[in-house]
Amino acid sequence: MEKNIDKRKLKETESISFNISPDRWLVSFQEILMFLLTIIYSALAAYLYEKTKATIAGIAILAGAGFGCVLFALEQSLENETFLYDNDEHLWRFVIIYLLAFGGSVLFPMLPVGGWPYLAVFVGLMFFSNRMIGFLSGCVLLMITVMIRGDGVTSFLVYLIGGLVGILVFSYVYETFKIWLPLMISLLIQGVCLFAGEFLFADGPLSAEMLLAPALNLSICLILLLLLLKYFSSSLIYRNRELYMEINDPEYPLLVELKSFSREEYYHAVHTAYLCDRIGKRLGLREGVIKACGYYHRIGVLKGENNWENVQLVLEEHGFPQEVKDVLREYVSPKERVISKEAVVLMFCDAVISSISYLFSRDAQAQLEYLPIINMILKKKIESGMINVSDISFGEIQVIRRILVEEQLYYEFLR
């Protein structure tokens, strides 16, 4: 998809123009398709399960109303660009996983209540959209299953809690991809809820056979989650890691072009990226993202002025990850507020490199006192109010200050 202007500006243009982009039509078609299929096939499934006309109508109405909430969340997420990774540019991922999960939701009533693998359904829906959409769509499908089955609120709550825990513990996997702790926690909570539902709310006498359905459920959920994580890692996580390794190479063609254009800009980018990388590792930030931002925060000079329009144009031409574009938009665009920690770190590192380089340009033999210089730079940035609404904490600012002071030997390369 060619994007030569900001997504938000594109959406504003679409809202007042009759010339809606083909991508917008495709998204609308996918949303309408999911909405209609949810209503029609939930009603058809209820009919095939020989439910009464009133129940069929109730299931269709509630399924439509529930998916209406999902549609609202989809539109809001597209507007605010809050999808995980680049899922907003590939809505078909969510459409496919939703339709597969919907197919399962109308088949699950044939299984024992303790055998519905809804933990994997909730997490899978979240992986290919975001937390809110995953939770809402999972609730809609769970509601359809429970209403067709005819079970009470207990079954709904058992799987609702398990799905909610799954979304919460897996919601940061896309940043670190540390999967085993979230996997253990989600399966443990799901197991507790399932066994509690089987034993505490059982109508008849307790028996060992009650353990069979929950145990089978947890086994299936484990397999499905591992398959989801495998696909997620191979198609998104590791693909992005390889991309970051490529664009963060000082010999990457775009950086070579910057070096040919201006050696001063090139070395400023290299030094800024070095400090960003050092601080990012210490603070546990997204290392590839923050290092790339250090390299390319002034790449707009290749198009003339280093404004956001030029920076975005270059990044789009070279297919940069959305995370990098988001941070650089915060930092470069005067209309945006600096919120992310990566943007704050970039601001401090850029200011330190610029200030020390300027002082050396006036007197290459100058003996600088780096501690007061760094303290003054950070003080001015903080007092300017630019980071008032950012996610950075006071303690993290002190860590940044300490690292910048520790790098005094490195600053000698700026002479």
Question: Who's near 301: CB < 8 A, 6+ residues apart?
Answer: 258, 261, 262, 265, 310
Dump pLDDT digits (tens) for 204-239.
565 666 778 888 889 999 999 998 888 877 766 666
**pTM beyond 0.75:** no
Residue at a domain's end among 205, 240, 275:
240
Domain that holds residue 360: 250-414
- CB of 235 closer than 8 Å to CB of 137: no
pLDDT of amino acid 177: 58
User: Residue 89's Cα: distance from chain center in Å?
Assistant: 13
Query: What average pLDDT does the segment 69-98 reach?
Result: 87
- CB of 75 closer than 8 Å to CB of 83: no
Q: Is residue 400 part of a domain?
A: yes
If asked whether residues 208 and 308 sit together in one domain, one would say no
- Go through the chain and tell me how many residues it has: 415
Q: Is residue 1 part of a domain?
A: no
pLDDT of amino acid 53: 93
If asked whether residues 220 and 333 sit together in one domain, one would say no
Distances (CA, A) of 123 to 127, 158, 225, 228: 6, 15, 8, 9
Place of tokens 């144009």: 313
Q: How would residue 194 be classed by pLDDT, with cut points 50, 70 and 90?
A: confident
Residue at a domain's end among 209, 240, 271:
240
If asked whether residues 255 and 230 sit together in one domain, one would say no
How many domains does the chain divide into?
A: 2
- CB of 109 closer than 8 Å to CB of 148: yes
Can you tell me the distance from the alpha carbon of 341 to that of 232, in angstroms, rounded to the nearest whole number?
25
Whole-angstrom distance between the N-terminal and C-terminal Cα of the chain? 43
Q: Is residue 245 part of a domain?
A: no
Cα-flanking dihedrals φ and ψ of residue 255, to 5°?
A: -70, -35
Q: Which of 1-5, 172-176, 333-337, 370-374 has the lowest mean pLDDT?
A: 1-5
Q: 137: closest CA among 126, 149, 145? A: 126
Collapse the DSSP code of 389 into the 3-class scheme (helix H, G, I; strand E, B; otherwise coil) and give the result. coil
Q: Is residue 101 part of a domain?
A: yes
If asked whether residues 321 and 342 sit together in one domain, one would say yes
Q: 292: closest CA among 353, 241, 239, 352? A: 241
Quote the tokens at residue 327.
Answer: 């941070």
Q: How would residue 8 be classed by pLDDT, with cut points 50, 70 and 90?
A: very low
pLDDT of amino acid 13: 37
Query: What average pLDDT does the segment 116-129 reach?
Result: 92
If asked whether residues 180 and 272 sit together in one domain, one would say no
If asked whether residues 255 and 213 sit together in one domain, one would say no
pLDDT of amino acid 79: 85
If asked whether residues 271 and 183 sit together in one domain, one would say no
Q: 31: closest CA among 75, 82, 77, 63? A: 75
Query: What average pLDDT does the segment 159-163 reach?
Result: 92
Q: Is residue 356 part of a domain?
A: yes
If asked whether residues 103 and 141 sit together in one domain, one would say yes
pLDDT at 388 over 80: yes
If asked whether residues 311 and 410 sit together in one domain, one would say yes
Distances (CA, A) of 322 to 6, 87, 186, 315, 327: 12, 10, 29, 9, 9
Quote the tokens at residue 38.
Answer: 């949810």
If asked whether residues 175 and 279 sit together in one domain, one would say no
What residue type is 344 in one-letter code?
A: V
Dump pLDDT digits (tens) for 130-148.
999 999 999 999 999 999 9
If asked whether residues 196 and 227 sit together in one domain, one would say yes
If asked whether residues 33 and 91 sit together in one domain, one would say yes
Cα-flanking dihedrals φ and ψ of residue 408, to 5°?
A: -60, -40
- CB of 170 closer than 8 Å to CB of 123: yes
Q: 395: closest CA among 288, 284, 297, 291? A: 284
User: Residue 317's Cα: distance from chain center in Å?
Assistant: 22
Question: Who's near 162: CB < 8 A, 6+ residues apart?
Answer: 118, 119, 122, 186, 189, 190, 193, 194
Q: How would residue 101 be classed by pLDDT, with cut points 50, 70 and 90?
A: very high
Q: Is residue 133 part of a domain?
A: yes
Q: Is residue 2 part of a domain?
A: no
pLDDT at 375 over 70: yes
CATH code for the domain in which residue 366 is found: 1.10.3210
Dump pLDDT digits (tens) for 230-288.
887 776 666 677 788 899 998 999 999 999 999 999 999 999 999 999 999 999 888 89
Q: Is residue 403 part of a domain?
A: yes
Can you tell me the distance from the alpha carbon of 247 to that of 402, in angstroms, rounded to the nearest whole number?
28
Residue at a domain's end among 240, 272, 298:
240
